[in-house]
Amino acid sequence: MDNVQDTISYEGVQIPVEQLREIPTPSYVVIEELLERNAKILSGVMERTGCKILLAQKAFSMFATYPLLAQYLSGTAASGLFEAKLGREEFGKEVHIYSPAYREEEMDEILQTSDHIVFNSFEQWITYKKKVQAVDRKVSCGLRINPEYSEVEVDLYNPCFPNSRFGVTLQRLEEELQKDPKALEGLEGFHFHVMCEQGAGVLERVLNRVESLFGVYLKQMKWVNFGGGHHITKPDYDLPLLEKLIVHVRDTYDVQVYMEPGEAIGVDTGILVTKVLDVMKNGMEIALLDTSAACHMPDVLEMPYRPAVIGAKVAGELPYTYRLSSATCLSGDVIGDYSFDKPLQKGELLFFEDMSHYTMVKNNTFNGINLPTIILYTKEQKMKVIRSFGYTDFKNRLS
Ligand SMILES: Cc1ncc(COP(=O)(O)O)c(C=O)c1O
């Protein structure tokens, strides 16, 4: 960041540096206007196709923004009881849950909280079928299917790698139907999730596969959930193709189509503001920040990827190159090498881009490093501190 600049520009939003200097660091600053921009794109798809889009809370659970998102989306998708409760309490509307395996002692509460329950296998469905059918409210049950087709190259993010635990393959479905021709009775929907940050072209090929394997069974269902991994709100996403595919599935099988993206809701909506704590040398310039990849943006190490920094370029492109790193003990806690047009100064602020999703839901206090403050930059251009953390939060999750 240039010290003499008086605003930073992120996704077309100008934020006065003066305001950024007043907030604590590190902070996730989620920009309300950008979140609403994404939500409006998704609600446009819903309006034009009749599909229902849910927020996958595993990606983004900043519930202070749920009242805004609930104006546009149909509800939330949960990975377990806690997310289902959060969705029910803070978002309202529809609550859908999917877990590879449910806990027996949580099922009663899940049944009171969730409108759709997706089971991962016939084993799970058979375990809970009686309980579900005895419940005093309408709960629609579905089965996760595994089409054994995906275009995700990294196994860590590929639900269809060989021997994957996710969903029922066609072979398993047919074995079960041979044993019991009524095996699908009581199930109202299919769910699949096989994509990761991908476009409508990939969805088209996935759907071809799903239809050719499971089409005949899909005709018996009331709904189908296309899962997440759709980069719908990215500028180059092919919305007309997505809409054509949704309408095709809706009309061919007479089903309600659901989607449950997470990233598409949070993508390009927020920054992580951090301060340079120190600058040192060991063969190159190293800047130590008050944020950490391991603690505050774990996907940087898991995926891995190198997040963009406002005003910085790749190493060597601008005159001053630095390795951006953290104050933890993990040697590999390095965010990446970046170049700047001026030397970095102690106390200077840096802004990591695209930090709303899969950050605050995954962060941790390794080394006793504090969690970033959560801030909403409101449509009225105010920095609204939603939650700050301290020693008590650190201590409370230990014993
Ligand atoms: C079942 C399911 N639904 C939805 C999502 C959300 O995916 P994304 O954030 O990539 O859209 C995931 C992500 O892993 C998932 O496993």
What is the tens place of the pLDDT at every residue in 239-253? 999 999 999 999 999
Label residue 148 left, alpha or beta by phi (over 0 means left) and psi (-120 to 50 means alpha).
Answer: left
Which of 301, 302, 299, 271 minimizes the C-alpha distance to 373? Answer: 271
Whether the full predicted model's pTM is greater than 0.95, yes or no, is yes
Q: What distance in angstroms lies between residue 59's CA and the mean position of ligand 1's atoms?
A: 7
Residue nearest to atom 7 of ligand 1 (CA): 228
Work out which ligand 1 atom sits closest to the CA atom of 358: 9
Residue nearest to atom 6 of ligand 1 (CA): 228
- Coil, helix or strand at residue 375: strand
Q: What distance in angstroms lies between residue 300's CA and the mean position of ligand 1's atoms?
A: 18
Q: What is the pLDDT of residues 46-73, one digit of tens each?
A: 999 999 999 999 999 999 999 999 999 9
Q: How confident is the model at residue 89 (pLDDT cuts 50, 70, 90)?
A: very high
Q: Is the per-residue pLDDT at 8 higher than 80?
A: yes
Cα dihedral sign for 167, 171, 176, 180?
positive
Q: What is the pLDDT of residues 271-325, one digit of tens each?
A: 999 999 999 999 999 999 999 999 999 999 999 999 999 999 999 999 999 999 9
Structure tokens at 91: 């978002």
User: What is the predicted pLDDT for the residue at 5?
Assistant: 78
Burial classification of residue 308, based on how many CB atoms lie within 10 Å of its CB (0-12 exposed, 13-18 middle, 19 or more buried) = middle
Q: β-pairing, 7-10 with 13-16?
A: antiparallel
The Cα 95–Cα 87 span in angstroms is 6
Q: What distance in angstroms lies between residue 56's CA and the mean position of ligand 1's atoms?
A: 6
- Helix pair 170-179, 200-218: axis angle to 10 deg: 10
Q: What distance in angstroms lies between residue 97's CA and the mean position of ligand 1's atoms?
A: 12
Structure tokens at 111: 């049944």
Q: What distance in angstroms lies between residue 112's CA and the mean position of ligand 1's atoms?
A: 23
Structure tokens at 382: 């105010």
Structure tokens at 387: 């939650």
Q: What distance in angstroms lies between residue 272's CA and the mean position of ligand 1's atoms?
A: 22
Work out which ligand 1 atom sits closest to the CA atom of 59: 9
- For the chain, what percent of residues have pLDDT higher than 90? 98
Work out which ligand 1 atom sits closest to the CA atom of 157: 14
Q: What distance in angstroms lies between residue 208's CA and the mean position of ligand 1's atoms?
A: 20
Residue 11 and residue 350 in contact, taking contact as beta carbons nearer than 8 Å: no
- Coil, helix or strand at residue 373: strand
Half-sphere exposure of 199 (CA within 13 A, CB side): 9
Q: Output b/e per residue, 365-383; b: 16+ Cβ within 10 A.
A: beeebbbbbbbbbeeeeeb
Q: How confident is the model at residue 4 (pLDDT cuts 50, 70, 90)?
A: low
Residue 148 and residue 163 in contact, taking contact as beta carbons nearer than 8 Å: no
User: What is the predicted pLDDT for the residue at 1?
Assistant: 46
* Helices and strands (H and E) in the chain: how many: 13, 19
The Cα 197–Cα 129 span in angstroms is 34
Residue 49 and residue 256 in contact, taking contact as beta carbons nearer than 8 Å: no
Q: What is the pLDDT of residues 248-271, one digit of tens each?
A: 999 999 999 999 999 999 999 999
The Cα 214–Cα 310 span in angstroms is 46
| Residue 44: C-alpha distances to residues 39, 41, 232, 265 (Å) | 9, 5, 11, 13
Q: How confident is the model at residue 380 (pLDDT cuts 50, 70, 90)?
A: very high
Sequence-distant (≥ 6) Cβ neighbours of residue 174 within 8 angstroms:
none
Q: Is the per-residue pLDDT at 3 higher than 90?
A: no
Q: What distance in angstroms lies between residue 256's CA and the mean position of ligand 1's atoms?
A: 19
Sequence-distant (≥ 6) Cβ neighbours of residue 110 within 8 angstroms:
81, 84, 97, 102, 117
Q: What average pLDDT score do residues 215-220 get?
A: 98
The mean predicted confidence, pLDDT, of the chain is: 97
Q: β-pairing, 313-314 with 334-340?
A: antiparallel
Ligand 1 binding pocket mutation candidate from 165, 193, 233 (most atoms within 8 A of CB): 193
Q: What average pLDDT score do residues 340-351 get?
A: 98
- For the chain, what percent of residues have pLDDT higher than 70? 99
Structure tokens at 188: 């109202």
Structure tokens at 150: 């995906």
- Helix pair 239-253, 32-49: axis angle to 10 deg: 40
Q: How confident is the model at residue 33 (pLDDT cuts 50, 70, 90)?
A: very high
The Cα 17–Cα 6 span in angstroms is 5
Q: What distance in angstroms lies between residue 47's CA and the mean position of ligand 1's atoms?
A: 22
Pocket of ligand 1 (CB under 6 A): 56, 58-59, 77, 98, 193, 196, 227-229, 260-264
Work out which ligand 1 atom sits closest to the CA atom of 263: 9
Residue nearest to atom 16 of ligand 1 (CA): 193
Residue 60 and residue 92 in contact, taking contact as beta carbons nearer than 8 Å: no
Work out which ligand 1 atom sits closest to the CA atom of 260: 4
Q: What distance in angstroms lies between residue 126's CA and the mean position of ligand 1's atoms?
A: 25
Work out which ligand 1 atom sits closest to the CA atom of 264: 11
User: What is the predicted pLDDT for the residue at 2?
Assistant: 44
Residue nearest to atom 5 of ligand 1 (CA): 228
Work out which ligand 1 atom sits closest to the CA atom of 357: 9
